[in-house]
Amino acid sequence: MELERVDLQELVYNLYRVENYPLKHVCLKTGLSMTTVKRYISIFEASTPETTSAMKKRKDVTPDDYKQLQAENARLQSALKREKLRADFYEEMIAFGKEVYGIDLKKAGTK
């Protein structure tokens, strides 16, 4: 009996705080009164603060979030290509300096 109540409290909390259902819809969905729903929410928040904070942080990905992530991914891939090109150019410059001037630039900077 107690386990069912805890599960019901979690369901009520999830519907109200995470999925943002209005209290009226939570009452209709669970068959509980408004007072019971409010009491279950406060009891669940008080008894499991770490769970409630994790549930509040959890967010479903929307299409806009997906587009933003794709744009950021494209930007980061472009930056990575530039940095790889820069690193390759740096390596060629070191090789050229060693070949033409006989200076090992990798060792020249460290003492």
2-57: CATH architecture: Orthogonal Bundle (1.10)
Spatial contact of 16 and 37, defined as CB atoms under 8 Å apart: yes
Domain map (residue ranges) of the chain: 2-57, 63-108
pLDDT in tens, 26-76: 999 999 999 999 998 888 888 887 777 777 666 666 778 788 889 999 999
Spatial contact of 25 and 32, defined as CB atoms under 8 Å apart: no
SS (H, E, C) 84-104: HHHHHHHHHHHHHHHHHHCCC
Spatial contact of 37 and 27, defined as CB atoms under 8 Å apart: yes
Q: Is the pTM of this model over 0.75?
A: no
